[in-house]
Chains A and B, each alone.
Chain A
């Protein structure tokens, strides 16, 4: 059987301090409840510089300059143990500052909704013209368009026709509403969607530049963020995927959006794998951009505890799934773990459905999987907020299942966790940490022969949409390629097989 393979993965991070202050829902909710909020007064002093964000070890792991195993050897708190020798450019991706990102938002904007002040626009145009991944991108000419003066932007935001965009504390632009009264096209929704689109475009460009993939060879794009685009008649109608592919020059691709809260990307990868294995498409890209709403989500606790606000990063990724090449790690489509509607909601039922059921179907033990990549949230963000070390909790649950199954004893739990656990290094951007950040590292470790296989696990909290209390989870294994490409049966082989069968049959008649 020919399984589909993981041909490449790219990862982008954007530091977005101003979006955190003005559009993170923790801050916008605070402003709504209490205009004189202490939190909002104290917050700016806890924000970090772009340089600090670049040198932050988990961010370096995300873009591939250090491995998750390296991260294990860096003492915590990681924000006090920055890596001074690294750059914003990584093997798998890049960390981008907010001003360049505002320029990218302008580039990807097809409906003239993003306005940048003229001097600021000229500055970011000059910076992006030298950018290794974005120079020459489709629609770059948007940055050559005539730009408004600051007074015009101030007037539009004052009249509530647009939402302001800031850089380093100064007003530098705005995002206009896209309809007079349609809430689904309000300035707020358009800002969130354009951020998601621009960061997806960033990840796609990184994938195209850092791997051999040619934009024209992409057949299908699956976008799997947690945003919804549409108008009041189809609020989540889509299609982010094609809008991203348009900017990326994917002229032969079509695409669609897949949603399942944080589990969306894992669903999307299974779908991509199935489409490739079935021969419907040869090259599928799964991608997602970042979320402004989640910026600074736990910042109240961080500020209260005197910590830097580490949730200042928008995350993005793009993964290329292609046909079996006999080299790249395969996705085992015959052992997809899934939380069924009837699986039950207890953590035990969930972990059994998404971890041990698929392993059982292949006759694997828990320790036959060398690395598990569940919810890869950076613990330095979640622990101060009372949510603990999320990936570590997942590893403990997997190990506890191993004890219950008699695979190892209770006092071997810590040892098991150490052997197959990966420290969390992803920004808490919902769908971004959900399993996917390890694919780049896992692919390289498998190619290098360091590990045999890894399990990618996506989990989602569906109750947030207030339509069901069901949980969601999906998993798949990526595994070392056996190096054999199954070409199917040729005529000669079939003839030989029939001949042999007839000889056997003739023998039975003689008896």
Chain B
């Protein structure tokens, strides 16, 4: 996960607390999305960024999982094309596994 994003998420959780705090991912691929979910849950597994050894315990959801929460027109305009292109089930399965 991008080091800047790690720093941003760490700062936000320090500032606002971890309650009612979820991370929304837009990764295009299962492995990378899972890596990001793992990073915000239990720390940076690559030990490269600010979340190395920092277990925030945050829950990450891929944007595909939140379809029902989003206005259908906006979702179609912003995500509709990518939904056709990416392996949605595989990505959701992978990201979900880090919330267990």
Point out residues on A near B: beta carbons under 8 Å.
33, 346-349, 351, 386-388, 393, 396-397, 400-401, 403-404, 410, 413
> Quick check: B28 and A348 within 8 Å, CB to CB?
no
Q: Are B82 and A348 in contact (CB under 8 A)?
A: yes
The reply to whether the CB of B79 lies closer than 8 angstroms to some CB of chain A is yes
Q: How far is the CA of A400 from the CA of B85 in the complex (A)?
A: 7
CB of A388 within 8 A of CB of B80, answer no
A11 to chain B, nearest CB (A): 29
Q: Which of B15-45 contact A (CB under 8 A)?
A: 28-29, 31-32, 35
Q: Are A400 and B84 within 8 A (Cβ)?
A: yes
Flag if A386 contacts B82 (CB, 8 Å).
Answer: no
Q: Does B81 sit within 8 A of A, measured CB to CB?
A: yes
- Contact B35–A351 (Cβ < 8 Å): no
Chain A residues contacting B84 (CB-CB under 8 Å) are 396, 400, 403-404, 410, 413
Residues of B at the A interface (CB closer than 8 Å) are: 28-29, 31-32, 35, 48, 77-82, 84-85
B29 touches A387 (CB 8 A): yes
A298 nearest CB across to chain B (Å): 13
By beta carbon, the residue of chain B nearest A350 is B81
Q: How far is the CA of A413 from the CA of B85 in the complex (A)?
A: 9
Q: Contacts A348-B77, A386-B35 given: A397-B29 contact, CB under 8 Å?
A: no
- Asked whether A348 lies within 8 Å of B29 as measured between CB atoms, the reply is no
Question: How far does the Cβ of A168 sit from chain B's closest Cβ, in whole Å?
Answer: 31
Taking CB atoms, residues of chain B closer than 8 Å to A413 are 84
Given that A386-B31, A386-B32, A393-B28 are contacting pairs, would A404 and B80 also be in contact in the complex, using a CB cutoff of 8 Å?
Answer: yes
Our pick among A33, A348, A386, A388 for the contact of B81 (Cβ within 8 Å) is A348
On whether the beta carbons of A393 and B85 are closer than 8 Å, the reply is yes
List of B residues within 8 angstroms of A349 by Cβ: 78
Q: Chain A residues with Cβ under 8 A from B85's Cβ?
A: 393, 396-397, 400
3 smallest CB-CB distances across A and B, nearest first, come from: A400-B84, A396-B85, A348-B81
- Report how far A33 CA is from B79 CA in the complex, Å: 38
Contact indicator A404/B81 (Cβ below 8 Å):
yes
Tell me the smallest distance from the CB of A145 to a CB of chain B, in Å: 44
Q: Select from chain B the residue with minimum beta-carbon distance to A417.
A: B85
Q: How far is the CA of A403 from the CA of B85 in the complex (A)?
A: 11
Measured between beta carbons, the chain B residues less than 8 angstroms from A346 are 77-79
Closest-by-CB residue of A relative to B29 is A388
Considering the chains assembled together, what is the distance between the CA atoms of A387 and B27 in angstroms?
10
Residue with the highest number of chain A CB atoms closer than 10 Å, among B28, B79, B84: B84
Shortest CB distance A413–B (Å): 7
Determine the distance from Cα of A152 to Cα of B81 in the docked complex, in whole angstroms. 60
Q: Which residues of A contact B29 (CB under 8 A)?
A: 386-388
Quote the shortest CB–CB distance from B73 to chain A (angstroms). 13
* CA–CA, A401 and B76, complex, Å: 12
Chain B hits for A401, CB < 8 A: 81
Given A348-B78, A388-B29, 16 other A-B contacts at CB below 8 A? Answer: A346-B77, A346-B78, A346-B79, A348-B80, A349-B78, A351-B81, A386-B35, A387-B29, A388-B28, A393-B28, A396-B85, A397-B85, A400-B85, A401-B81, A403-B84, A410-B84
Chain B neighbourhood of A396, CB < 8 A: 84-85
Residues from chain B with a CB closer than 8 A to the CB of A410 are 84
The CA of A153 and the CA of B94, in the complex, are separated in Å by: 53
In the bound assembly, the distance between CA atoms of A54 and B32 in angstroms comes to 32
CA A400 to CA B76, docked complex, whole Å: 12
Q: A243 to chain B: closest CB distance in Å?
A: 34
CB distance from A359 to the nearest CB of B (A): 15
